[in-house]
Amino acid sequence: MSAAPPVTPSPPKPKSNDTLRPQPSGAGGANGTTADATTAYAESDAHALWAIVSVMLGLLVAILGFFAVMMWFDAHDAKDAANRAAARASSASGSMAGMDMTGAAGAAGALESYAGAAPANADALATAHKPFPAELLPAPAGPVADVNLVLKDVTVEIAPGVKYAAWAWAGGAPGPVIHVRQGQLVKITLTNDGAIPHSVDFHAARIAPDKAFRDVMPGKSVSYTFRANDAGVFMYHCGTKPVLAHIANGMYGAIVVEPKPGVLPKADRDYVLVASEWYLNSDGLKKPAQYNVDKAHARTPDWMTFNGYSGQYVKHPLTAKPGELVRFWVVDAGPSLDTDFHIVGTVFNTAYPFGDMKPEDALHGVQTVTVPAGGGGVFDVKIDDPGLYPFVSHAFAAVDQGQVGLLKVGAVQGTMTH
């Protein structure tokens, strides 16, 4: 609100002398009488004048008072706006691990970060954790790939000792890695064992989403087929509204559509990584955390993971022999942040950005390639020198929050963090 410039009312017009001059009170009147009458006349005139001035002053006070109130409202609005901006600024920086938030904590809307929360035995828990299998298993033989997916409300562990009440899959989050061959018919059967309606959207499909990706009621199933004509690595996810909440809660996975034989050089190792973010309403150490919509809107995750668990391939590295061709099939499930895929200590021999598998579109000798939220990318690397090679999202806040793993090349000892 902007105030109109204050309007100063015109001061009362001074009466002209004529008005003040007593009128003759009639012919033959005595001077004294005339004088008295004149005085009386003048007094009553003065009373009238004072009355007018009083009314005018009253009006002036009322008008000035009105503008004072308007200006107070204006100032109040400006203060509210400033407070809101401060709250936004503090929530935007709220998830950075180790950042002192005490100054902003008092502002309304500050989002407390649980990044890095860990129990005393976190290291032992990380060692005992069974990592999500990143190795790509062979595609099914024959013309049809049958895929059965079960959605379920499950408590998952997303970092050592950090539990999260997920809407995910029977095996947790991400869902199972699906591997098919280009041209294969994919038959999807989705069963909803969750408490609310869900659905499944395959980015690899060219199909009317209002039919295939429709909501499935709890306890029900849906089936549809699509031909996997587009090669690459694609996201699949629940597409039920609000999609942000369904993805953030763990309802995503990856499908590899392997190009026709002879298109790609044969890889010695194939690994699948699904990157994602987690937005928590508590630290998840004593009881499972749940989804925090404010953090999801602010895009300030507490944890970021490859295959659903912070740093799991640091304790349990992926492996290769020196000189082998290692292929990473990477999907970024988001829900909202990109992954800047990079392997420390080497350069991608070949990158297929966005999962465009045409060899003529590939890049060679590149260091870091963005995998967008909701997209994929394929990366070939050949490492001769034995060692521990971290793979990361080079947006380094993501590394602090868990998006880091190791590729162990050769029979080297130990582990490391980057």
Give the residues across from 178 on adjacent strands.
255
With contacts defined by CB under 5 A, name the span among 81-89, 233-241, 311-319, 338-346 that binds Cu ion.
233-241
Angle, CA 153 vertex, CA 151 and CA 157 arms, to 5° = 110
Q: How far is the CB of 243 from Cu ion (least distance, A)?
A: 7
Residue from the set 110, 134, 231, 238 that interacts with Cu ion by CB under 5 A:
238
Q: Determine the Cα–Cα distance for residues 179 and 233; give it in Å rounded to an integer.
A: 9
Residues 6+ apart with CB under 8 A from 370: 338, 339, 340, 341, 353, 377
165 makes contact with Cu ion (CB under 5 A): no
Q: How far is the CB of 168 from Cu ion (least distance, A)?
A: 9
Q: Which is nearer to Cu ion, 110 or 151 (CB)?
A: 151
With contacts defined by CB under 5 A, name the span among 36-44, 70-78, 191-199, 325-333 that binds Cu ion.
191-199
246 makes contact with Cu ion (CB under 5 A): yes
Residues 6+ apart with CB under 8 A from 124: none
179 makes contact with Cu ion (CB under 5 A): no
With contacts defined by CB under 5 A, name the span among 14-22, 236-244, 304-312, 349-357 that binds Cu ion.
236-244
With contacts defined by CB under 5 A, name the span among 79-87, 197-205, 328-336, 394-402 that binds Cu ion.
197-205
Q: How far is the CB of 329 from Cu ion (least distance, A)?
A: 17
- Binding pattern to Cu ion, positions 117-136, x when CB under 5 A? --------------------
Runs of H (alpha helix) within 93-215: 102-105, 122-128, 209-212
Q: Determine the Cα–Cα distance for residues 330 and 351; give it in Å rounded to an integer.
A: 11
Q: How far is the CB of 192 from Cu ion (least distance, A)?
A: 8
Q: Which is nearer to Cu ion, 240 or 305 (CB)?
A: 240
Runs of H (alpha helix) within 93-200: 102-105, 122-128
The tokens for 41 are 């006349």
386: three-class secondary structure by DSSP: coil
Contacts with Cu ion: how many residues (CB under 5 A)? 5
Q: How far is the CB of 237 from Cu ion (least distance, A)?
A: 6
240 makes contact with Cu ion (CB under 5 A): yes
Residue from the set 178, 180, 233, 251 that interacts with Cu ion by CB under 5 A:
251
Of the CA atoms within 13 Å of residue 22, those in its CB half-sphere come to 16
Q: How far is the CB of 249 from Cu ion (least distance, A)?
A: 7
Residues 6+ apart with CB under 8 A from 126: 160, 311, 312, 314, 315
Do 125 and 285 form a contact (C-beta atoms < 8 A)?
no
Runs of H (alpha helix) within 93-217: 102-105, 122-128, 209-212
Q: How far is the CB of 85 from Cu ion (least distance, A)?
A: 33
With contacts defined by CB under 5 A, name the span among 3-11, 30-38, 66-74, 242-250 that binds Cu ion.
242-250
Do 307 and 402 form a contact (C-beta atoms < 8 A)?
no
Q: How far is the CB of 159 from Cu ion (least distance, A)?
A: 23
Residue from the set 181, 198, 327, 394 that interacts with Cu ion by CB under 5 A:
198
The residues of the shown chain that bind Cu ion, judged by CB under 5 A, are 198, 238, 240, 246, 251
